[in-house]
Amino acid sequence: MKRIKISNILSFIVLLFSSVVFLVPIVTVVVNSFKDKFSISQEPFVLPNSNTFVGIENYISGINDTDFLSAFFWSLFITVCSVAVIIIFTAMTAWYITRFKTRFNKTLYYLFVFSMIVPFQMVMFTMSKMANVLGLDNPIGLIFIYLGFGAGLSVFIFSGFVKSIPKSLEEASIIDGCNVFETFWRVVFPILKPTAITVAILNTMWVWNDYLLPYLVIGSDYKTIPIAVQYLKGGYGSVDMGAMMAMLVLAIVPVVIFYLSCQKYIIKGVAAGAVKG
């Protein structure tokens, strides 16, 4: 008994030490966001003192330089709409092509799976040109493009789950006079809900943080948060470290709030998504 206790205490110490190491970078950025921009890069690990403390000055200049509020709005708008569109359409597609195994549907399924392995650089140039030609280089068009890119993983995860749903439920609903559309939304989708949460979590994490795709498609007219952060670096010769720190904090805060409020689903979603993937 005693040996187990000692080893548990040791494990606890190791875990405690590791968590501190994991938290240091975030805490450092938060602390530095309140410091005078000239004292940041030289001594990032020193707490602000009466000389270097600048209050929320960095936040004001950061928000003004990058138009953060509009970036936040576009990030939120694009993420929420893309994820909703992805869930609605890929769930329907996954169910349909899993249930009706025509040659076209089977091929389509393999194409979706195939697309998951292709790196973005392979299609980035031709895709952004195409978005341009078709007039998809605006936030609404971007949502459509996200549906196309998200389809691979999402259809794959949904399909894996659809296979485990007994067909008899759907057949009963058809006999009772529902059409295919009603059957899907009233009978099948409620069963798919846990999977839909997984798909939503995985896609939210991807779309919210995505940089290159929105940058290439809408970057010249609309900025999302990652584009705004990168813009701060690229726009001038020297970086305003104060504004940069404030922007990093503002970029992290929504993520942490999202994480802490849906932690249970996120952890479950990640584990479930990985097992399917």
The stretch among 52-60, 62-70, 179-187, 189-197 that binds another protein (CB under 8 A) is 179-187
| Residue 130 in the binding site for another protein (CB under 8 A) | yes
Q: How far is CA 51 from CA 43, 44, 77, 106, 239, in A?
A: 13, 15, 40, 67, 21
Tell me which residues in 232-271 interact with another protein (CB under 8 A). Answer: 233, 241, 244-245, 248, 251-252, 255-256, 258-260, 263, 266-267, 270-271
Q: What are phi and psi of 116, to 5 degrees?
A: -65, -25
| Residue 160 in the binding site for another protein (CB under 8 A) | no
| Residue 76 in the binding site for another protein (CB under 8 A) | no
Tell me which residues in 42-61 interact with another protein (CB under 8 A). Answer: 42-45
Query: 56 vs 148, which CB is nearer to another protein?
Result: 148
Q: Which residues pair with 39 in a beta bridge?
A: none
| Residue 110 in the binding site for another protein (CB under 8 A) | no
Give the separation between CA 253 and CA 227, rounded to whole angstroms: 17
Query: 53 vs 259, which CB is nearer to another protein?
Result: 259
Instruction: Single out the residue of 63, 151, 218, 246 in contact with another protein (rule: CB under 8 A).
Output: 151
Query: 15 vs 69, which CB is nearer to another protein?
Result: 15
Classify each residue of 149-185 as buried b or exposed e, where b means 16 or more C-beta atoms within 10 Å of its C-beta. Answer: bbbbbbbbbbbbbbeebeeeebeebeeeebebeebbe
The owner of tokens 């097992």 is 275
